[in-house]
Amino acid sequence: MTEQTKLWGGRFAGTSSPELSRFSRSDPRYFAMAPYDLHGSRAHVKELHRAGLINDDELQDFLSTLSAIAGDIACGAVQPQEADEDVHTFLERVLIERMGPHGGKIRAGRSRNDQAANDLRLYMRDKARTVASLVAELAEALADQASQHLNTPVPGFTHLQSAQPVVFGHQLLAHAQPLLRDLHRLQDWDRRAAVSPLGAAALAGSTFALRPELAAVEQGYEASAENSIDAVGSRDAAIEFLFVCSLTLIDISRLCEEIISWASQQFRWIRMDDAYCTGSSIMPQKKNPDIAELTRGKSGRVLGDLMGLMAAVKSLPLAYNRDLAEDKNAVIDAVETLEVALPALSGLVRTFAVNVEETTRQATAGFTLATEVADWLARQGIPFSEAHDVSGALVRFCEANSLDYGDLSDEQLAAVDARLTPEVKSVLTIEAALSAHSGFGGTAPDRVAEQLVRFRANLDQVKTWTADYKGLRVAPTGTK
């Protein structure tokens, strides 16, 4: 960088070493903070105007120039230079180039410490809405598939062993419900994150920006930070944001694991659309669930981002330390991962076809109706401990004689236990088993349909939240 573009060189007699300049320069991805830095700068020049450091004409000059720079950056007409140490240096350089020396007035009353904290918080609050919208799209895709399979039986599993039959819609919504909680976590996080660090300056507060609560509202926050040291020295908002991103990807990763299984020749539950899977360079017959596998892998990397930032912040003294520059790398990586993975996975879920005949056949394989037998016996007044043993004995008899429940005669039932009367056959159908689990949250088709209605209502509330944001919105890279 040149000495003229430094924000801090006044007390230094010599030039910076190339090694320092190279190591100190921001990661190129950090320049994504430019729109948010400009947004904060608009609020800051209004503070300087309130303090009397700039007049009415200068205020309008600043505001119009900042808006013009924002537009030029958005369309790629203005780019950082190698000499720009960070996004703040970059933007101040461009501002002074366009406004002349009095553009340097903007630095009064603020520090890169509160700017950096503010930029990241604005970025996260914006991206929380972007991520929420994408998570909601995946949840909607699951809900749409569930609506088509309210009566499609599949085997439910525990320990990856066939356990009891459920409807596939219930299984899909079991993956959608955690995503809804993740969306609510983002909303809950945003309530705590809606606090502006701007005005904290280096750590003690500003002698010019004396109404940070007004600047906070102008940026779309709910309040200004109570403590200037905490405002620049803490990163718990970033850590919590990363936690929600990581947990969202963990929840998605579990869905991916099941999709990989469902699409396998061993399961044969679903057929993936050609547009959302890949092939093999050597085996012509292959259709690979790459989207699910890539997402499953990337979930581990984002979890690493969370762990890395927590380790960087651990034991740091107050207030600001350069270690905190790691916050942006972690957060940007998590957001960019979700912005790419979620649309691809939503497309995969939205377009797969379910092999209903195969899932129905598997739903009762492996004696998954054994619990129904025990429950029927319990309704006859038999203690469940005994009913459990009788049902287990019936399974042993069927296995020893290569029989299924539908093959059993009345005499064979009685031979296992006299209490197994012919009436037990009334519960040995998939329809009876599914409808019997009719308690709230159960897999009975009517209950799953009710769950789906409530789920969609919750999604609508989240969509309202994503749209009702007063802060800066920046379109993801590659979109308009």
Return the C-alpha torsion angle 137, 141, 147, 149, nearest 10: -160
**What mean pLDDT comes out for the span 301-308?**
97
Find tokens 């803490």 and name the residue: 234
Q: Is the pLDDT of residue 331 over 90?
A: yes
Measured from the Cβ of residue 16, the count of other Cβ atoms closer than 10 Å reads 15
For the chain, the three-class secondary structure string (H helix, E strand, C coil) is CCHHHCCCHHHCCCCCCHHHHHHHCCCHHHHHHHHHHHHHHHHHHHHHHHCCCCCHHHHHHHHHHHHHHHHHHHCCCCCCCCCCCCHHHHHHHHHHHHHCHHHHHHHCCCCHHHHHHHHHHHHHHHHHHHHHHHHHHHHHHHHHHHHCCCCCEEEEEECCEEEEEEEHHHHHHHHHHHHHHHHHHHHHHHHHHCEECCCCCCCCCCCCCCCHHHHHHHHCCCEECCCHHHHHHCCHHHHHHHHHHHHHHHHHHHHHHHHHHHCCCCCCCEECCHHHCECCCCCCCCCECHHHHHHHHHHHHHHHHHHHHHHHHCCCCCCCCHHHHHHHHHHHHHHHHHHHHHHHHHHHHHHCEECHHHHHHHHCCCCCCHHHHHHHHHHCCCCHHHHHHHHHHHHHHHHHCCCCHHHCCHHHHHHHCCCCCHHHHHHCCHHHHHHHCCCCCCCCHHHHHHHHHHHHHHHHHHHHHHHCCCCCCCCCCCCC
Active site residue 159: yes
Average pLDDT, the chain: 95
> 155: which strand partners?
165
Q: Is the pLDDT of residue 478 over 80?
A: no
Rounded CA separation 36/95 (Å)? 15
What digits encode the pLDDT tens for the residues 249-276? 999 999 999 999 999 999 999 999 999 9
**What mean pLDDT comes out for the span 198-204?**
97
Instruction: Give the least confident one: 150-159, 277-286, 454-463.
Output: 277-286
Q: HSE on the CB side for 221, CA within 13 Å?
A: 26
- pLDDT at res. 69: 98
Rounded CA separation 88/71 (Å)? 17
What digits encode the pLDDT tens for the residues 214-250? 999 999 999 999 999 999 999 999 999 999 999 999 9
Of 17, 64, 67, 280, the catalytic one is 280
Q: Could you give all domains of the chain from N- to C-terminal order, each with its CATH number?
A: 3-108 (1.10.275.10), 113-154+166-203+223-361 (1.20.200.10), 370-427 (1.10.40.30)
- pLDDT at res. 476: 73
- pLDDT at res. 477: 59
What digits encode the pLDDT tens for the residues 387-440? 999 999 999 999 999 999 999 999 999 999 999 999 999 999 999 999 999 999
Of 159, 281, 385, 402, the catalytic one is 159
- pLDDT at res. 6: 66
- pLDDT at res. 36: 98
Active site residue 64: no
**What mean pLDDT comes out for the span 339-366?**
98
Pairing of strands 270-271, 353-354: antiparallel
Residue (of 341, 356, 390, 350) closest to 370 by Cα position: 390
Q: Is the pLDDT of residue 1 over 60?
A: no
**Confidence band (pLDDT; 50, 70, 90) for 480?**
very low
Q: Is the pLDDT of residue 2 over 50?
A: no
Those residues whose C-beta lies under 8 Å from the C-beta of residue 163, and which sit 6 or more positions away, are: 155, 156, 157, 368
- pLDDT at res. 237: 98
What digits encode the pLDDT tens for the residues 106-116? 999 999 999 99
What digits encode the pLDDT tens for the residues 64-80? 999 999 999 999 999 99
**Confidence band (pLDDT; 50, 70, 90) for 3?**
very low
What digits encode the pLDDT tens for the residues 18-58? 887 777 787 899 999 999 999 999 999 999 999 999 999 99
What digits encode the pLDDT tens for the residues 75-133? 999 999 988 999 999 999 999 999 999 999 999 999 999 999 999 999 999 999 999 99
Q: Is the pLDDT of residue 5 over 70?
A: no
